[in-house]
Structure 1
Amino acid sequence: MGRVQEIRVFPVRSLAGTAVPTAAIGPDGLAGDRTWTVVDADGRPVRAKEAPGIAGLDGAGVDEEQLSAAAGRPVHLAALPPQPGVAPVHLVSEQAIDRAARGEVPEGCSADDPRANLLVSLDEGGDERAWVGQEVRIGDAVLRVTRTPKHCLGVYADVVTPGTAQAGDAVLLIGNPGPSH
């Protein structure tokens, strides 16, 4: 079906991600992904939509002084509590980014920053949106594609079998080899 082009983790929700060559994928998603969140003095989450200055900060090395300066008010990091109903893995194809460049972009979506954990390149004619309800193998991890996001490119997936993925790994649709070439 395709190959993994890039793997990204987003250590702090709403902040920039970090490209990694390999990632362990557990039941809750990629190791180190979305484990922290930015909160204000009252403990309310601060999102990039309301404090756009934080969006470009590197979540892997940011400190609270930098966060507060970028947010324009005192903020700090807090452990991100479990997020029921939030899919642990976000996959986006290069083809989805190309479609977005042609104007096929969901409302509220940033085609410039799809915030994908796994950026994949699909075989000709591939479209990850057709995978909803199916399983894909990436490295030795198996993911079940659950839905398309309302405000993002790509698809969301749950982890069926934990494993490790790395850039260059094949993306294989399980149980449906697709058309032969």
Structure 2
Amino acid sequence: MRITQLNIYPVKSLRGIALEQATLGPRGLAFDRHWMVVDDVGRFVTQRQLPRMAQVAVRLDAEALVLEHPEVPPLRIALARDDQPRVTTHVWEDQCQGLDEGAEAADWLGRVLGDWKGSGLRLVRFAPDQQRRVDPRYQQGEQAHTAYADGFPFLVTAESSLAVLNEVLVAKGEDAVPMARFRPNIVVEGSAPFAEHGWDALAGDGYRLGMRKPCQRCKIITLDQQTGEAPAPKEPLRTLAGMSLATGAYFGHNATLLDGEDRTIRVGDTLEAETSAG
């Protein structure tokens, strides 16, 4: 197999950044889900609540996180900083400390996104001394942690699985969807469709990823990742649910880093799947 895409999403639920290479860490690819938009009580806000978050472009340069939207000047957030006020943040049932990026960022988000049910929006970054544990029920003796991703540090998807999904969609008279709908970190080619759900691990050049849990999808995959609009409000979620082997809609596989911290992963890398069957 071969890696065809690497993507990071520095701010949870804003647009992603396509990369040619990235540094591997226990919390995922460097800077992935390092920031998050929260409401007044620190609860995470995503495209599930505010689909227009997909309209916010994200860049990283040597000194700053840069958020861009056509209606306002860009917002720059310094990377080399950790003196911000601490706030308690919530992702699903997890609670951890974040660093509040301040009033300028909150004002920028308000101008671009409005509010959420009367609550203001703030930008927080994952506190460097925090560890948000991956649910141990899905581990195999190791300990893993993540930042502001939903639950795992990596999401792996396969080109062949998307091709089959799109064949079914087109046969039903629906439009094919791009891989961007699924917001993966690592995309591979050269595997059988949905074979990723049978892998125990993926091994590359000096690194190994543990494949730990199929990714159950939500309504975000119905949203165009440039506009935030839903061209077919129930697709491809409905079709995917009908194709799944288990109750619910599954696409892609959540993963953790087993070996290779600080190694470089690249588009074009060859990967070998490890299975319990050998």
Give the TM-score normalised by structure 1: 0.81
* Partner SS state of residue 97, structure 1: helix
Q: 1:83 to 1:39 in 2, by over 3 A?
A: farther
What letter matches 2:165 in structure 1?
A: A
Which is helix-richer, 1 or 2? 2
Q: How does 1:117-136 map to 2 (within 5 A)?
A: 117-123=185-191, 127-131=195-199, 134-136=200-202
Counterparts of 1:10-159 in structure 2 under 5 Å? 10-60=9-59, 61-62=66-67, 63=75, 64=105, 65-73=107-115, 74-80=120-126, 82=132, 84-85=134-135, 86-103=151-168, 113-123=181-191, 127-131=195-199, 134-151=200-217, 152-159=250-257
> Greater relative contact order (Cα 8 A, min sep 6): structure 1 or 2?
1
Residue segments in structure 1 that go unaligned for 5+ positions in a row: 105-109
* Of 252, 259, 267, the match for 1:161: 259
Identity of aligned residues (%): 24
Give unmatched runs, 5+ long, in structure 2.
60-65, 68-74, 76-104, 136-150, 170-177, 218-249
CA 1:166/1:45 → structure 2, altered by over 3 Å: closer, same or farther? same
Cα deviation code 1:60-87 (max 9, x no counterpart): 3213355323321242210246364322
Deviates most, 34-43 or 81-90 = 81-90
CA-atom RMSD, angstroms?
2.6
For residue 176 of structure 1, report the CA deviation from its aligned partner.
7.8
Structure 1 pair 126–53 and aligned structure 2 pair: CA distance change class (3 A): closer
Q: Could you say which structure has the larger radius of gyration?
A: 2
Distance 1:115 1:138 in 2: 21
2:272 aligns with one of 168, 172, 177 = 172
Name the CA shift for 1:39/1:96 in 2 (closer, same or farther; >3 Å). Answer: same
Q: For the residues of structure 1 that align with 2:270 and 2:253, how far apart are their CA atoms?
A: 17
Instruction: Provide the C-alpha distance between the structure 1 equivalents of 2:112 and 2:205, rounded to a whole number of angstroms.
Output: 37
